[in-house]
Amino acid sequence: MESGRRSYESFWKQALKDIAEDISDQEFSTWFRGIEYVSGSDTQIALSVPSSFIKDQISQRYLPKIEEKLAELAGHELSVKFSIQKKSASRTTHEEPKAGAKAEEASTRKRQHPQLNKEYTFERFIIGESNSFAANASLAISKNPGTGYNPCLIYGGVGLGKTHLVQAIGNSVYREFPDLKVAYVTVETFANEFILSIQKKTGHQFKNKYRLVDVLLIDDIQFLEGKEGTQEELFHTFNALYDANKQMVFTSDRPVSDIRSLSDRLRSRFERGLNVDLQPPNYETRIAILNRKVEEKKVKIPDEVVELICRNINTNVRDLEKALTKLIAYAELVNKHITLEIAHQQLKDFFAQPSQKNITIELIQKIVSEYFGLTYKDLRGKRRTKAVAFPRQVAMYLSRELTEYSTTEVGGEFGGRDHTTVMHACQKIEDRMKIDPNIEPTLQSLVKRIKENNA
Ligand code: ADP
Ligand code: MG
């Protein structure tokens, strides 16, 4: 019945409006924007959604709520059935490409995106507790680029999967949305290209390269530290893309608030969207990841060896991979099966407990200067500019906290400074910690790095 059809559709529309009021705009547009009404009957409403991922997510998160709203409106129970929409070939233009052109597009898309590593896919990314927030956000973005979490910033320590995830978004969008232009670049490359474009007076080309894309992926934005011109350029690129509703995803090895000498306007833009963090994987996730790597490399490794590695290496995934690679190389070279004994013997350097080795002041100076974008010499040197004063105080403070050296010895390692200078520096840091909530996380993150690098 025609009138019946209309009323079911209007129930659905009203239910949508109610839900939109209950949840955030971002959530709504991520999950609900792409839903289409298909049909309705006395018992069921049929809807179609853009992908099975969205279907699963909606079913898990919102189905009871949706059915409850519908029951309220209809006065009786109505179940909801989802089907998956066929992908439209074009999202940005309304013109349907010709069949020939479509086929051609599809076949060209089997090729690999030139800037992306084909190994970095969602299929190869193991999701565990430590990374599920970042991984699910990345998945959602890849299904609906530009509509929900925009911009998105993924941050976390080295080797935890930032590059893998951001490239997985790129690979997936490149494959699934043939008409969308995807660009991936590290901040270092972006900065180099920018400088080159000034030298060669090809600024226009450079701007077009990054402002005329649908999905821009920028890796390692912590390296924007101290690069003012590049920051300025990225700021304008950001605005152009943001205004055009284009998707942007950034990665960083630390929270944006910890990136020093970043312009406030750029900082506030990075913080505008969704910020998700990656944590080191727990034991179970490490086992799952390592088992997958063993499978991918098509080698035979006893379970007890996998367990040994995962028990002893808890820093990050890259270190797990390194240990595995070393074992496999050894086994191949000497033509032996990998046993527990061989693993123990070959991996003893990997397993060395960082705390067993004494931390040196030199290591602290290296890590701290790198973190603040200074040179090691600056930190040890005589200059007293503001830019070095605070990092130097931090390094002195950490030298007192993490080593057994006296204030006199510490002073000696910092360009022969007096022990009172060291005491003063430690006092300064302690005072600042009381008033500035950013200091402690910074110190913690530095301590973590120092310990990791002391292995
Ligand atoms: P980051 O960019 O954070 O330093 P990467 O993305 O380069 O780290 O990851 C380091 C290595 O670990 C890569 O080879 C990547 O494929 C792998 N890796 C990280 N996390 C996972 C995961 N959850 N599942 C499978 N492989 C992972
Ligand atoms: Mg990386």
For the chain, what's the residue count? 455
Tell whether the torsion through CA atoms of 367, 371, 372 and 376 is positive or negative.
positive
Q: Is the CB of 289 under 6 A from ligand 1?
A: yes
**283-351 placed in CATH 1.10.8.60:** yes
Longest CA–CA span in the chain (Å) reads 91
**361-454 placed in CATH 1.10.1750.10:** yes
Please check the confidence at residue 105 and state whether its pLDDT lies above 60: no
Mean pLDDT score, 200-223: 94
Phi/psi zone of residue 325: left (φ > 0), alpha (ψ -120 to 50 degrees), beta? alpha
Q: Which atom of ligand 1 is nearest to the CA of 253?
A: 3
Confidence at residue 340, expressed as pLDDT on a 0 to 100 scale: 92
Q: Quote the ligand 1 centre to 126 CA distance (angstroms).
A: 9
Please check the confidence at residue 258 and state whether its pLDDT lies above 50: yes
What are the residue ranges spanned by the domains of the chain?
2-84, 122-278, 283-351, 361-454
Residue 87 binned pLDDT confidence (cut-offs 50, 70, 90): low
Neighbouring C-beta atoms of residue 118, cutoff 10 Å: 11
Mean predicted lDDT score pLDDT of the chain:
88
Name the β-bridge partners of 40: 45
Q: What are phi and psi of 205, to 5 degrees?
A: -60, -45
Q: Which ligand does the CA of 168 lie closest to?
A: 1
Q: Is the CB of 439 under 6 A from ligand 1?
A: no
Helix (H) / strand (E) containing 185: strand 182-186
Neighbouring C-beta atoms of residue 165, cutoff 10 Å: 29
Neighbouring C-beta atoms of residue 294, cutoff 10 Å: 19
Q: Which amino acid is at 426?
A: C
Please check the confidence at residue 138 and state whether its pLDDT lies above 50: yes
Confidence at residue 6, expressed as pLDDT on a 0 to 100 scale: 56
Please check the confidence at residue 188 and state whether its pLDDT lies above 80: yes
Mean pLDDT score, 132-147: 94
Q: Is the CB of 210 under 6 A from ligand 1?
A: no
Q: Which atom of ligand 1 is nearest to the CA of 292?
A: 25
Confidence at residue 5, expressed as pLDDT on a 0 to 100 scale: 54
Please check the confidence at residue 51 and state whether its pLDDT lies above 90: no
Neighbouring C-beta atoms of residue 266, cutoff 10 Å: 18
Q: Provide the whole-model pTM.
A: 0.62
Q: Where are the alpha helices (DSSP H) in 115-245?
A: 132-143, 162-176, 187-199, 203-211, 228-243
Q: Which ligand does the CA of 187 lie closest to?
A: 2
Contact present, 275 and 259 (Cβ < 8 Å): no
Mean pLDDT score, 306-330: 93
Please check the confidence at residue 93 and state whether its pLDDT lies above 60: no
Please check the confidence at residue 3 and state whether its pLDDT lies above 80: no
Q: Is the CB of 33 under 6 A from ligand 1?
A: no
- Domain 2-84, what fold? GMP Synthetase; Chain A, domain 3 (3.30.300)
Q: Which CATH architecture has domain 122-278?
A: 3-Layer(aba) Sandwich (3.40)
Q: Which atom of ligand 1 is nearest to the CA of 160?
A: 3
Please check the confidence at residue 374 and state whether its pLDDT lies above 70: yes
**Three-class secondary structure of residue 77 per DSSP:** coil
Q: Is the CB of 321 under 6 A from ligand 1?
A: yes
List % helix, strand, coil for the chain (3-state, nearest 5).
60, 10, 30
Q: How far apart are CA 139 and CA 133, in angstroms?
A: 10
Question: For 342-356, how does the pLDDT look when each residue is reduced to its tens digit (9 = 90+)?
Answer: 999 999 888 865 545
Fold match between domain 283-351 and domain 361-454: no
Mean pLDDT score, 44-65: 83
Q: Nearest C-alpha to atom 20 of ligand 1 is from which residue?
A: 161
Q: How far apart are CA 150 and CA 197, in angstroms?
A: 28
Q: How far apart are CA 31 and CA 56, in angstroms?
A: 10
48-57, 278-287, 288-297: least confidently modelled range: 48-57
Contact present, 101 and 178 (Cβ < 8 Å): no
Confidence at residue 242, expressed as pLDDT on a 0 to 100 scale: 95
Q: How far apart are CA 103 and CA 92, in angstroms?
A: 18
Using only the alpha carbons of the chain, give its radius of gyration: 27
SS3 readout for 229-248: HHHHHHHHHHHHHHHCCCEE
Q: What are phi and psi of 49, to 5 degrees?
A: -125, 160
Q: Which amino acid is at 238?
A: F
pLDDT > 70: percent of the chain: 91
CA distance readout (Å), 213 to 34, 89, 208, 376: 22, 17, 8, 39
